[in-house]
């Protein structure tokens, strides 16, 4: 007992007492306040937004993490192909080159401002790429964009298509781009519908004290 008291006192004297609360329960999984804090920092870093750890940002992060739990569950049972460490490393290099002029010290400095490590960023990129692959594998095979839908989009948006493609804006030239666009829209809708149904089936409990 004396040892426990000494340890607590030592931690308190050095300002090292950190309470990591359970913020959300998703069925049998938990999301902690530290998970939310990390997600806020990573999201705002990647979106190039000022660091904001306020209640609204934390609540939005909690919602993202609930979605992630549901996706992880599906990944564990569906046999989907995941992104690799090499994929994440390549994306990290692209960010370092495009945003920081391929100067690692600049990236490290920005990460420090957001309270992040390079490994945390790499793991986030790996997860984002894995989610993209999951969405493509799970929902894209069921999409069938018809020629009629392509033509209808072309005719409805012809003025904008001509402005953005002044040299060659015929239906034949733009058909692949339009088909990819419509496919992406349909895939996103199917994913959002699936996620909504998954949320309805799950038991999701928010611990309000963790957001105050």
- Structural domain boundaries of the chain? 24-211
How does pLDDT run across 148-195, given as a tens digit for each residue?
A: 999 999 999 999 999 998 889 999 999 999 999 999 999 999 999 999
Among the listed residues 17, 19, 60, the one whose alpha carbon sits nearest the alpha carbon of residue 39:
60
Tell me what pLDDT residue 38 has: 98
19: confidence class by pLDDT, cuts 50, 70, 90 = confident
Give the pLDDT of residue 18: 54
- Residue 66, pLDDT > 90, answer yes
d(CA 24, CA 31): 5
Cα 131 to Cα 64: distance, rounded to the nearest angstrom:
12
Least confident of 10-14, 26-30, 99-103, 127-131: 10-14
Q: Residue 1 pLDDT > 80, yes or no?
A: no
Give the ranges where the chain is alpha helix by DSSP (H): 2-13, 33-46, 55-78, 85-100, 104-113, 118-139, 147-156, 158-164, 171-201
Indicate the pTM of the whole model: 0.84
**Under 8 Å between Cβ of 99 and 46:** no
Instruction: Print burial letters for 115-129: b (CB count within 10 Å at least 16), e (below 16).
Output: ebeeebbeebbbbeb
- Token pair 């692949």: residue: 176
Find the radius of gyration of the CA atoms of the chain: 23
Report helix, strand or coil for 63.
helix
pLDDT digits (tens, 9 = 90+) for 106-156: 999 999 999 999 999 999 999 999 999 999 999 999 999 999 999 999 999
The span from the CA of 75 to the CA of 153, in Å, is 34
Hey, what CATH class is 24-211 in? mainly alpha
């Amino acid at each position: 007992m004396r040892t426990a008291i000494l340890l607590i006192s030592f931690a308190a004297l050095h300002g090292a007492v950190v309470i990591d609360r359970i913020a959300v329960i998703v069925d049998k999984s938990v999301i902690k306040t530290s998970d939310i804090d990390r997600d806020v920092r990573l999201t705002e870093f990647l979106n190039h937004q000022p660091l904001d750890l306020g209640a609204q940002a934390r609540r939005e992060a909690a919602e993202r993490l609930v979605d992630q739990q549901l996706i992880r569950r599906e990944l564990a049972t569906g046999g989907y192909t995941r992104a690799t460490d090499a994929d994440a490393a390549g994306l990290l290099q692209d960010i370092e080159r495009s945003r920081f002029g391929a100067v690692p010290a600049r990236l490290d400095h920005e990460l420090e401002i957001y309270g992040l490590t390079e490994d945390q960023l790499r793991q986030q990129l790996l997860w984002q790429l894995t989610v993209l692959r999951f969405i493509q594998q799970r929902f894209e095979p069921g999409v069938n964009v018809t020629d009629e839908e392509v033509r209808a989009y072309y005719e409805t948006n012809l003025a904008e298509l001509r402005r953005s493609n002044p040299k060659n804006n015929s239906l034949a030239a733009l058909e692949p781009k339009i088909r990819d666009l419509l496919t992406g829209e349909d895939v996103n809708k199917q994913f959002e519908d699936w996620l909504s149904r998954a949320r309805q089936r799950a038991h999701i409990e928010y611990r309000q004290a963790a957001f105050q």
